[in-house]
Structure 1
Amino acid sequence: MPRHARRHKAVTIAVAGVLSAGLLTGGCARGNAGSGQARHAFHLTGEAETLDVAEQLLERDCLEKQGFRLWVVPDSPPQRTFPYGVDDIGWARKHGYGSRLRAGLEKAVSADPNQKYFDSLPPDRRAALLAAVNGPRPKGLRVRLPNGVEVSHSDQGCTAEAERYLYRDLPAWFWATRVTNNLDGVRVAMVVADERYREALAGWKRCMGGKGYAFATPAQSADRALDPARGLTREQEIRLAVTEIGCARSSGLSGVAASLDREYGAQVRKRYAKEVGDLARLTREAMPRARAVIARG
């Protein structure tokens, strides 16, 4: 079930093999109408959570009309990311590169009731479920992302119906979410292409080599640590992460990356101010409708 980056449903994982970005938190609402499952109150702390749960409730009701089921599973807060290498020494000493967190995420995904339900369906019903959620074909909504990639999605199906109800202007919502979701990647690409970053990276590489690690970039060291086939122990993973942070500091890479991130971040926000503003406006206007949907249950 392709979604914008705020949430990726379990069925997306089953079809595309892509790991969801959020851990599941439990506390499901009722499943099918009349299923006998008890209602549960949602304890929502922010706009994103409220909108997410409201959208799932609307999709659940839409799917029920077509003979399918969906369990409402509130998303957890976003996981930490380190686009220029791990830079939090306390986090690194506790988690290394986060391999155990990733394993926990995979376990949560496999336990998700929507994943289990999807897996239980025969192939023809799986295809029908995906069509019900996403629409019959990816036509109706289209946008060219800042990175030049063109993406499209159906303006039909339960996801489109739910988002149209919440945000009213579905094309504007699609455009704003897809563009703004792409901005982090644009900013990071600008940083790592900057000559100042490359100079500092060369120093980081020399430092890591002196410690016995032959990595060209922090991304390579993370890939090494997170590759289960390489079989790093927890102690080895933590040692590598802590060494990386030390080299990032001594080479100046961490400071250069932070400075460039602020510099290019300001440029990107200015360049795409309209999309950022549209997203904020559409979100703000959708909140009363989302709260009403959740109140209905």
Structure 2
Amino acid sequence: MSRRTLLLTTAALLAVTLTGCGDGTTPSQTAAQGSGFGTGRHASDTPEQTLHLAEQLLTKECMEKRGYKYWVEERPAPDGPSLFPYVVDDPAWAARHGYGNDIYRAQQREALRDPNQRYFRSMPADRAPELVSALNGPRPEGLSVRLPNGIQVTHSDQGCVAEAERALYKDLPAWFRATRVATSLAGMRAGMVVADKRYLAALKPWARCMKAKGYTYPSPAEARAAATRPDKEWPHAEEVRLASAEAACAGSGSASSPSSGPGSGSDTLSAVVKSLDAEYRAELRRRHPGPTADLDRLKREALPRARTIVARGD
């Protein structure tokens, strides 16, 4: 789950209600790297960035029409857990960032300077709830979906976030359903990977490799947890050493896996998790074809509108 807890980002203020049982979380999708733009046009490099920026510009326009200020927020930058949900396997990244605590600390510092946050904190106490309601709607009602894991998720179909999504994607209920199901499936996929016997087999040579380097963690998850404890900050150099060992071991060693193992015969932990992740992604898409197809279609249809909005600017 995201470690950023500040109140006034579009991502954090979804005002959802969850009922039922199960865990629909995904690997951490951390907070925005920067928060405010001035006026004029904005650059976007990929379809995902273009869609995000268009939604932010529409949200800004809506909030200003309602008498509030709003600063466009950048698309969340990937952090360590989202880049490497199973194992850090990029030696160059590990040598620079370790597990990404430096990125997280930089994001925390940036969040304190977030203009939307400062604006929220500057509001009189009796007006702050009105601002949140304008952004996210008065109550988490109007949109609802039951996720594959049994959780019921609801959200307001009012407010500027909903208005922006409706303008961009047109079919707001379908967009809500598709995005929430996709998030849930990502969490399910991760659980399926780490429970797979091929993953468990590949852990053994990885752990032996780590032990030879002086570390006795039985899995990458436990190594990461030790280095990223919020109550015990590791020196950056120590974090880098552990993550670098993890990355080296992820690409070396050999498990006694059967010929049916993943990939083209390679059974390093890095290869195994990539193969299993792709396998279970395809399986879950087959199991839930409607929402996944809707998500692809809605993004594809929205992209020309998004490009027009971004070209128009503020």
Q: Same fold (TM over 0.5)?
A: yes
Within 2, Cα distance between the matches of 1:192 and 1:138?
A: 34
* Equivalent runs, 1:88-237 vs 2, <5 Å: 88-237=90-239
Match of 2:273 among 257, 277, 281: 257
Change in CA separation of 1:25 and 1:182 when aligned onto 2, cut-off 3 Å: same
**For residues 4-33 of structure 1, what are the alpha-carbon distances to aligned partners after superposition, in whole Å with 9 as ceiling and x for unaligned?**
xxxx963665999x984331175x14xxxx
Shift of residue 114, structure 1, vs aligned partner: 0.6
Change in CA separation of 1:225 and 1:63 when aligned onto 2, cut-off 3 Å: same
Q: TM-score, normalised by structure 2?
A: 0.79
Higher helix share: 1
- In the alignment, what sits opposite 2:303? 287
- In the alignment, what sits opposite 1:75? 75
Whether the 8 Å contact between 2:13 and 2:136 is mirrored in structure 1 is no
**Paired residue secondary structure (2:51):** helix
Within 1, Cα distance between the matches of 2:313 and 2:31?
A: 28
| Structure 2 unaligned spans of 5+ | 1-6, 16-27, 255-267
- Aligned-partner residue type, residue 53 of structure 1: L
Change in CA separation of 1:237 and 1:221 when aligned onto 2, cut-off 3 Å: same
Change in CA separation of 1:19 and 1:160 when aligned onto 2, cut-off 3 Å: same
Change in CA separation of 1:213 and 1:128 when aligned onto 2, cut-off 3 Å: same
Q: TM-score, normalised by structure 1?
A: 0.83
Match of 1:22 among 20, 24, 32: 32
State which drifts further: 189-198 or 221-230.
221-230
- In the alignment, what sits opposite 2:54? 54
Change in CA separation of 1:124 and 1:63 when aligned onto 2, cut-off 3 Å: same
**Paired residue secondary structure (2:253):** helix
**Paired residue secondary structure (2:140):** coil
Whether the 8 Å contact between 2:33 and 2:75 is mirrored in structure 1 is yes
**For residues 217-265 of structure 1, what are the alpha-carbon distances to aligned partners after superposition, in whole Å with 9 as ceiling and x for unaligned?**
2112112212253232222111111222233332533332222222212
Within 1, Cα distance between the matches of 2:14 and 2:168?
A: 27
State which drifts further: 216-225 or 252-261.
252-261
| Alignment RMSD (CA, Å) | 2.7
- In the alignment, what sits opposite 2:19? none
Count of residues paired in the alignment: 279
Higher-RCO chain (CA-CA 8 Å, sequence separation at least 6): 2
- Aligned-partner residue type, residue 9 of structure 2: A
**Paired residue secondary structure (2:145):** strand
Whether the 8 Å contact between 2:63 and 2:69 is mirrored in structure 1 is yes
| Structure 1 unaligned spans of 5+ | 1-7, 30-38
Within 2, Cα distance between the matches of 1:202 and 1:134?
A: 47
State which drifts further: 82-91 or 65-74.
65-74
Change in CA separation of 1:101 and 1:264 when aligned onto 2, cut-off 3 Å: same
